[in-house]
């Protein structure tokens, strides 16, 4: 990447929205697509090749859409000011970003945390977007979801934890050969974006929204006017197929796609399904 344009595409830019400076990448041309990353990752290209991040999918999506990919408040290069970071706040951040950038009812998709935010946006601001893909981000709308205990274990050290414990989280990640590399990338990403040790602050900021019910249930999906695809893998250990069906059945204009043999990550099949869904909505 030697040109100024490609440098800007890789490094991103900032926009003032909802009281903070939101860092985002802007790549491709055509219909705007807001792309919301999941937890533990950001828009940083350091995540290329890691299947729970969109970094390896940006080019493919940018062949079809103008992709706007922001860093979540408190994550990556987007600085949080004070108070808890709730899904309501994240959804309002995205709505403000859409408004400031002058995007007229863009498409929106997210994975995991990002999908929850996209869906809350559809509930709180029904006219903000024209179509939504919720990829593996519908579990927390179930008040009895096992996700909450799983996240307390992950961020607090036990399923009964009542507060975040970054040191316990670090021990858990480092004890797993599979999770250790992701943990090291997360530390490098968060600290390079906001200063040495920010990874601890990021985990603390993630606690409330990932360990507690967000206040919306599947019944609230009936408020979403945008065409919405519920997308998941049949081996996802956070989002079950049964939850996906329950979410889908509440949507006024909904579709359901279950990817066989896939878990809680972003395979190429999920990207292709997302592109196909959005292109059908635009054609329709």
Handedness of CA 27, 31, 32, 34 (dihedral sign): negative
Q: Are residues 78 and 45 in the same domain?
A: yes
pLDDT digits (tens, 9 = 90+) for 75-89: 999 999 899 999 999
Q: Are residues 187 and 61 in the same domain?
A: no
Q: Are residues 32 and 115 in the same domain?
A: yes
pLDDT digits (tens, 9 = 90+) for 100-155: 999 999 999 999 999 999 999 999 999 999 999 999 999 999 999 999 999 999 99
pTM of the prediction?
0.95
Q: What is the dihedral of CA 27, 33, 37, 43, to 10 degrees?
A: 10
Helix ranges restricted to H, 31-133: 58-62, 87-100, 113-124
Q: Are residues 124 and 171 in the same domain?
A: no
What is the H or E stretch that residue 269 is in? helix 268-283
Q: Are residues 73 and 164 in the same domain?
A: no
| Distance (Å, whole) CA 122 – CA 214 | 14
Which residue range(s) make up the domain with 25? 4-143+215-283
Q: How many Cα atoms are found within 13 Å in the side-chain-facing hemisphere of 257?
A: 18
The CATH number for 97's domain is 3.40.50.1820
The candidate with the shortest Cα–Cα distance to 138, out of 258, 56, 55, 279, is 258
Q: Are residues 128 and 171 in the same domain?
A: no
């Amino acid at each position: 990447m030697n040109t100024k344009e490609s440098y800007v595409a890789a490094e991103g830019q900032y926009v003032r929205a909802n009281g903070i400076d939101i860092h985002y990448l802007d790549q491709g041309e055509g219909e705007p697509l807001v792309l919301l990353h999941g937890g533990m990752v950001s828009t940083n290209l350091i995540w290329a090749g890691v299947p729970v991040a969109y970094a390896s999918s940006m080019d493919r999506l940018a062949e079809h859409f103008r992709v706007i990919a922001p860093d979540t408040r408190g994550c990556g290069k987007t600085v949080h000011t004070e108070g808890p970071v709730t899904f309501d706040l994240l959804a309002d951040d995205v709505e403000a970003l859409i408004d400031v950038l002058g995007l007229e009812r863009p498409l929106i998709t997210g994975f995991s945390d990002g999908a929850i935010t996209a869906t809350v946006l559809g509930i709180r601001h029904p006219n903000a977007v024209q179509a939504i893909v919720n990829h593996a981000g519908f579990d927390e709308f179930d008040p009895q979801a096992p996700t909450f205990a799983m996240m307390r274990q992950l961020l607090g050290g036990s399923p009964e934890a009542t507060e975040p414990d970054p040191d316990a989280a670090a021990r858990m990640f480092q004890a797993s050969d599979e999770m250790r590399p992701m943990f090291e990338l997360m530390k490098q990403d968060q600290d390079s974006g906001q200063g040495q040790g920010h990874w601890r602050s990021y985990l603390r900021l993630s606690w409330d929204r990932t360990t507690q019910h967000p206040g919306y249930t599947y019944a609230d999906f009936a408020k979403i006017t945008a065409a919405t695809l519920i997308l998941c893998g049949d081996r996802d250990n956070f989002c079950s197929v049964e939850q996906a069906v329950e979410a889908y059945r509440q949507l006024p204009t909904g579709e359901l796609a279950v990817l066989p043999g896939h878990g809680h990550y972003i395979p190429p099949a999920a990207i292709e399904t997302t592109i196909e869904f959005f292109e059908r909505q635009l054609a329709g």
